[in-house]
Structure 1
Amino acid sequence: MIVVAGEALIDLVVTPDGERAVPGGSPANVAVTLARLDQPVRLLARLGTDDYGRQVAEHLRANQVDLEWAVRAEEPTSVAVATLNATGQASYEFRLAGAADWQWTPQELPELAGSSAIAFHTGSLALALAPGAQVLEDLLARERHRDGLTLSIDLNLRPSIVTDREAEQARVRRQVPLAHLVKASDEDLAWLYPDRSVADVMAEWREVGVSCAVVTRGGEGAWLLAPNGTLHEATAVRTTVVDTVGAGDSFTGGLLAALADLDALGDRPADRLAAVTEQQWDAVLRQAATVAALTCGRRGADPPRRDEVEALLTPQT
């Protein structure tokens, strides 16, 4: 199975027609995407016992996300207010003070060694907000040393919340070398490193031990720097954009699912990723872009199921 760790919150989506409360959170969205792509997935999250927390838990269970390692927390559920503009682009305001997602203690984390986990994915606010971020970072460090499963991070920065650019640069500099696969958006990198090119940042990540670096570029597609240094590019899949909520998360889920199908996740992670062929990397990137495009064509973080993705990826005769 793939283990995903991080926030599972409520997106309060505001449109000209009103507002609605829907389950979200970047890691939770990645977990749902993986489950819909028929990958066994377990979410390591702190779920509030309030009404919003129960709504989130019901949503995850309904999507076949395993919650065996989820912690039932007394703190309130985090809320992200997502306001959509006329083109469906989302801007966010967060209500996070004292919320459940950020209160991890070492005692709440499972032992991944000896489990059926082949990969561990985390990122977003879970790796940025104290005190829980340090607990998850320590887990990443232990697992990188153990070298028993693939480690994945999605930066998914939130400058409206974590505003100190220099502190975020230092955090990213610490955390990136702990992962075998790192994904970011071009918007993440433009804010984090305003004077550096995307290519320069991706090359640096490779130098510090990242096997696979991925940068999504919205309507321009995505880049993937493979373990051998080859740069792969995928154009964006055409779609009528309803909104972009969860698009980056579904891309990440599609990427990890494609690698799992290739048996490229697991022990000896760097070797497994190095064994992926050039043609396979192109297919992995194409699947991730397709999953993201299908999500953009729907309202909210509603990733597609495997048969929907395969219908677009299978050549028509």
Structure 2
Amino acid sequence: MIVVAGEALIDLVVTAVGQRAVPGGSPANVAVTLARLDQPVRLLARLGTDEYGRQLAEYLSANRVDLEWAVRAEEPTSVAVATLNASGQASYEFRLAGAADWQWTPPELPELAGTAATALHTGSLALALAPGAQVLEDLLDRERRRDGLTLSIDLNLRPSIVTDRAAEQARVRRQVPLAHLVKASDEDLAWLYPDRSVAEVMAEWREVGVSCAVVTRGGDGAWLLAPDGSLHEEPAVRTTVVDTVGAGDSFTGGLLAALADLGALGDRPADRLAAVTEPQWRAVLRQAATVAALTCGRRGADPPNRAELNALLNAAS
């Protein structure tokens, strides 16, 4: 079982023809992607008891995301207003003040030792917004010391919300060494480190204990720095882009699902990732890129299921 911790919010998607409220949030999107790829997944989230919160709970349950550890919170549900331009690119405005997602307290978190969890994934705003971010960071720290499951972080920075670059650099510098797998976009790194190359950042992550560093590059594909120091590059899978909502999250879900299928997630995480071969890393990246492409080819954060993914992978082989 893969555990995903973080926000589940409502994307209010605005286009030229109107607006619609759809479930979203980076960690929730990752969880749905994993579930659709037939991976057992449990979402550790704080879901509001308002109408949006009920909509989220129904959507997640319908997609076979286990909500046993989800907290039903009295605070309102977070809302992200996603405005799409003519090419389908999304820009975001967030309504987060006092919302449920960011109010974690230590007693709300489960003890992962002794459970069926093989990995814990988190990131995005959940690791950035107080007071809950510190609670989740402490969870990562405990689990890294225990060394009993694979830890994954997707930076997924939001400069329009967390605007202090120096503070974000300090946070990322503190949190990255807690993970075995770290993923970011080239846009994340260009904002965070305007004077540094992607290669420099990935190499630094490896030096501080990250086994696998992944950077997505939009239409230019993705890079993966493997535990042995080899760099793997995967071109983007060509598709007709409807919009990019959830594309990065579905990439992350596809990546984790591929590693789970290889038995590369679990105890002794660094050893498991080091055992992945070069051809397997290529296949892992190819799956992640294909999942992202299928998501971009339809409206909203709507990742493919296993049959849809296999059909496209088989057609390309």
TM-score (ref. length: structure 2)? 0.99
Structure 2 distance, partners of 1:6, 1:83, is 23
In the alignment, which residue of structure 2 is the partner of 1:301?
Answer: 301
In the alignment, which residue of structure 1 is the partner of 2:103?
Answer: 103
In the alignment, which residue of structure 1 is the partner of 2:131?
Answer: 131
| 1:75 equivalent in alignment to 2:95 | no
CA displacement 1:253-301 (0-9 Å, x = unmatched): 0000000000000000000000000000000000000000000000000
Q: CA deviation at 1:314?
A: 1.8
Structure 2 distance, partners of 1:169, 1:316, is 39
Structure 2 distance, partners of 1:168, 1:293, is 29
Q: Which amino acid aligns with 1:79?
A: V
Q: CA deviation at 1:201?
A: 0.1
CA displacement 1:145-167 (0-9 Å, x = unmatched): 00000000000000000000000
CA displacement 1:180-238 (0-9 Å, x = unmatched): 00000000000000000000000000000000000000000000000000000000001
Structure 1 distance, partners of 2:197, 2:155, is 17
In the alignment, which residue of structure 1 is the partner of 2:266?
Answer: 266
Structure 2 distance, partners of 1:182, 1:302, is 23
CA displacement 1:71-118 (0-9 Å, x = unmatched): 000000000000000000000000000000000000000000000000
5+ long unaligned stretches in structure 2: none
Q: What is the total number of aligned residue pairs between the two structures?
A: 317
In the alignment, which residue of structure 2 is the partner of 1:157?
Answer: 157
Task: Calculate the aligned-residue CA RMSD, in Å.
Answer: 0.7
Q: CA deviation at 1:32?
A: 0.1
Q: Which amino acid aligns with 2:227?
A: P
Q: CA deviation at 1:312?
A: 1.3
What secondary structure sits across from 2:159 in the alignment? coil
Structure 2 distance, partners of 1:142, 1:255, is 24
In the alignment, which residue of structure 2 is the partner of 1:204?
Answer: 204
Structure 2 distance, partners of 1:87, 1:12, is 18
What secondary structure sits across from 2:104 in the alignment? coil
What secondary structure sits across from 1:229 in the alignment? coil
Seen in structure 2, the aligned counterparts of structure 1 residues 143 and 240 have a Cα distance that, compared at 3 Å, is same
In the alignment, which residue of structure 1 is the partner of 2:171?
Answer: 171
In the alignment, which residue of structure 1 is the partner of 2:191?
Answer: 191
5+ long unaligned stretches in structure 1: none
Q: CA deviation at 1:315?
A: 5.2
Structure 1 distance, partners of 2:248, 2:44, is 20
Q: Within 5 Å, give how 1:141-152 maps onto structure 2.
A: 141-152=141-152
Seen in structure 2, the aligned counterparts of structure 1 residues 298 and 315 have a Cα distance that, compared at 3 Å, is closer
Q: Within 5 Å, give how 1:20-99 maps onto structure 2.
A: 20-99=20-99
The range that moved more, 307-316 or 164-173, is 307-316
Q: Which amino acid aligns with 2:66?
A: D
TM-score (ref. length: structure 1)? 0.99
Structure 1 distance, partners of 2:32, 2:124, is 16
Percent of pairs with identical residues: 89
Structure 2 distance, partners of 1:82, 1:266, is 35
In the alignment, which residue of structure 1 is the partner of 2:285?
Answer: 285
Structure 1 distance, partners of 2:27, 2:142, is 20
Q: Which amino acid aligns with 1:17?
A: V
Structure 2 distance, partners of 1:208, 1:183, is 15
In the alignment, which residue of structure 2 is the partner of 1:14?
Answer: 14
Q: Which amino acid aligns with 2:164?
A: D
What secondary structure sits across from 1:92 in the alignment? strand
What secondary structure sits across from 2:135 in the alignment? helix
Q: Which amino acid aligns with 1:202?
A: M
In the alignment, which residue of structure 2 is the partner of 1:227?
Answer: 227
What secondary structure sits across from 1:213 in the alignment? strand
Structure 2 distance, partners of 1:46, 1:254, is 24
Structure 2 distance, partners of 1:105, 1:293, is 37
Q: Which amino acid aligns with 2:235?
A: T
What secondary structure sits across from 1:314 in the alignment? helix
Q: Which amino acid aligns with 2:277?
A: T
Q: Which amino acid aligns with 1:75?
A: E
What secondary structure sits across from 2:20 in the alignment? strand
